[in-house]
Structure 1
Amino acid sequence: MLTAKGLFQEIIDNDESFRLFCSIAASGESQGGWENARIAALVAPGMRALAPKITRHSADEDKHGRIFNALMKKRGLEPVPVPPDTDYTMLLERRGIGLAHEKLRADRPLTEEDVIVYLAHSRVTEQRAADQMDMLVTHFGDHPELGKAIHMIDNDEANHLAYCHEELLGLARQGHGRLIQRTLRESALAEIRVYRDVSLAVMRHMGRILGWSKPKAFALAAGIHGMYVWERAAGWHRMVDLKMPDRRNALGGAGAPAPAL
């Protein structure tokens, strides 16, 4: 029987598949760090109070990238190029989700609408990240090689998600509710499609490395398509709801340093 735990165990037990997994993860986290750093530098003049929190978000993402690189280094592995069909961040940008990199590379201040779009997009993608890390903590939280890193990243992702909820609720009270809800819905529907496509691509690459049989590859692909159908019908709602988090001001302090691996 195929299970998430069994599948991931296969991936981490093989050096080549583990290296690809960590390379994809490190690249995505580092890209998120760059994006947040640029947003913090360009944040709309009337929203400068957000800049320290966005900077903290950037530092956390950079830290996660270093953690995945350290996990590879510990095994004596070097990163590999990320296949374009597994580049989650790039594929989201191509669908017009989030802030275009062209805008972030310019030196013009962002508008309030830009910042709201950034926060709404982050609320959606951080939900995905938090869900994935919760799954890994459940199955591998006590793993001698990965456990410490997984717990650290899981806690950070919970902070990021709480920050997005709190800031968006505050902006909704200021009269931006319609823009927020519209952007959340558009982002969620695009994200679940991109996540499906990236998941299928990652499984294809892992299947090639690990020599999965055609029936196994077919079953995994069917499971990914089934999850997409459920998310498209109803599951996306969990990515757009807003509620005041238990963790208040989650990015208001200094972030924890990367653990010694």
Structure 2
Amino acid sequence: MLSARSLFQEIVDHDDSFQLFCSIAASGESQGGWENARIAALVPGTLRDLAPKITRHGADEDKHGRIFRALLRRRGLPAVPVPPETDYTMLLERRGIGLAHDKLRREEPLSERDVLVYLAHSRVTEQRAADQMTLLLRHFGDHPEIGRAVRVISHDEDNHLAYCHEELLRLARRGHGPAIQRLLRASALAEIAVYRDVSRAVMDHMGRLLRWPAPKRAALSAGIGAVYAYERFSGWHRMIGLRQPGRPDPLGGRPVPAPGPA
């Protein structure tokens, strides 16, 4: 029977699939680290109080990239190039979601609207990351090889999501509520389509590496399509709601260190 646990166990147990998984994850986290560092440097004067939190967010993403690269090193595996069809971050950018890398490479200060775009994009993508890590935590939190990494990253992703909620609510109280809701809706609808496409691309690569039979590949593709249909019909609404986090200032405490020598 197909299950998230059995599928991921197959990926972890096989060097080639584990290598691709960690390479994709490390690349995405490193991109996120760079983006947040640039946003922190360019945040407008009216929102300078956000800069330390954005910097912390970026530092966490960089740490996650190091964790995935360390997992590869422990198996004696080098990182491999990320297939472009699995590059979640860049595919979102091509759909106009988030801040374009060209903008972030300039030395021009961002506008308040740019910061709203960043936070709305982050609220949606951090929801996805937090959900995925919760799933991995449930099944692999005690795994001898990857358990500590899963626990650290899951904790961080929960904090990142809470931070997005807190800051968007603060900005909504300053009169940005309608703009925030429009940006959240556009981000969520684009994200669920990109997530579907990336999921299928990743599973296609894993299927070749693990030599999955055609019926198994077809069942996985159908399952991914069913998730997309649910999210497109109504599931996307949970990605745009805002609620005050249980612990205030979730990015204001001490960061959780990376496990081992990562």
For the aligned pair, the TM-score class normalised by the smaller chain equals: over 0.9
**Which sections of structure 1, spanning at least 5 residues, go unmatched?**
none
Query: Could you list the per-position Cα deviations for residues 72-98 of structure 1 after superposition, in whole angstroms to 9, with x for gaps in the alignment?
Result: 000000000000000000000000000
Query: Could you list the per-position Cα deviations for residues 195-224 of structure 1 after superposition, in whole angstroms to 9, with x for gaps in the alignment?
Result: 000000000000000000000000000000
1:238 and 1:121 map into 2 onto residues whose CA distance is: 14
Q: If the length of structure 2 is used for normalisation, what is the TM-score?
A: 0.99
| Equivalent residue letter for 2:232 | R
- Structure 2 matches for 1:50-89, cutoff 5 A? 50-89=50-89
| Equivalent residue letter for 1:214 | A
Structure 1 counterpart of 2:40: 40
| Equivalent residue letter for 2:142 | D
Structure 2 counterpart of 1:27: 27
- Structure 2 matches for 1:1-261, cutoff 5 A? 1-260=1-260
Query: Could you list the per-position Cα deviations for residues 25-58 of structure 1 after superposition, in whole angstroms to 9, with x for gaps in the alignment?
Result: 0000000000000000000111000000000000
| Equivalent residue letter for 1:177 | G
Q: CA deviation at 1:253?
A: 2.9
| Equivalent residue letter for 2:129 | A
Query: Could you list the per-position Cα deviations for residues 148-169 of structure 1 after superposition, in whole angstroms to 9, with x for gaps in the alignment?
Result: 0000000000000000000000
Q: CA deviation at 1:259?
A: 1.3
Q: Runs of 4+ in structure 1 displaced over 6 angstroms?
A: none
Q: For residue 248 of structure 2, give the secondary structure of its aligned residue in structure 1.
A: coil
| Equivalent residue letter for 2:130 | A
1:115 and 1:27 map into 2 onto residues whose CA distance is: 23
| Equivalent residue letter for 1:191 | E
Q: CA deviation at 1:247?
A: 2.2
1:166 and 1:221 map into 2 onto residues whose CA distance is: 36
Aligned residues: 261
Q: If the length of structure 1 is used for normalisation, what is the TM-score?
A: 0.99
The answer to whether the 8 A contact 1:56-1:254 is kept is no
Give the share of equivalent positions with the same residue, in percent: 71
Q: CA deviation at 1:64?
A: 0.1
Query: Could you list the per-position Cα deviations for residues 71-127 of structure 1 after superposition, in whole angstroms to 9, with x for gaps in the alignment?
Result: 000000000000000000000000000001110000000000000110010000000
2:243 and 2:24 map into 1 onto residues whose CA distance is: 31
